[in-house]
Amino acid sequence: MSTGMSPFKKDQFEGCVSTMFAATTTEKAGQYICPPAAIEPGSELAQNEELGEQLMKLTREIVTQKTKAVEEGCPMKFY
């Protein structure tokens, strides 16, 4: 990384703050967490349940097709 970007670099502890916050907070599910651990509502598209279901369906199809896990005897379980 260039020297000019050095002030913006994070170490592993700074980089994991939002992930740890999201993993350990139990108030609500489906929140959009921005660094550093700030909850934001997200865009209208991010809140669209129908679009989310379409994305999950497409993701399942692509993962199943690309990994060929089912053909190898490893059933795909989606929760």
Rounded (10°) CA dihedral 79, 29, 35, 14: -70
- pLDDT attached to residue 2: 63
Q: Could you tell me how many residues make up the chain?
A: 79
Q: What are the pLDDT digits (tens) for 14-43?
A: 888 777 877 777 577 677 777 776 777 778
Pick the most confident of 34-43, 51-60, 65-74: 51-60
Q: Read off φ and ψ for residue 4, nearest 5 degrees.
A: -65, -25
Higher pLDDT, 15 or 2: 15
**CA angle, residues 14, 16, 9, in degrees to nearest 5:** 40
Does pLDDT of 75 surpass 80?
Answer: no
Minimal CA–CA distance to 47: which of 35, 25, 58, 31? 31
How far the first Cα of the chain sits from its last, in Å, is: 39
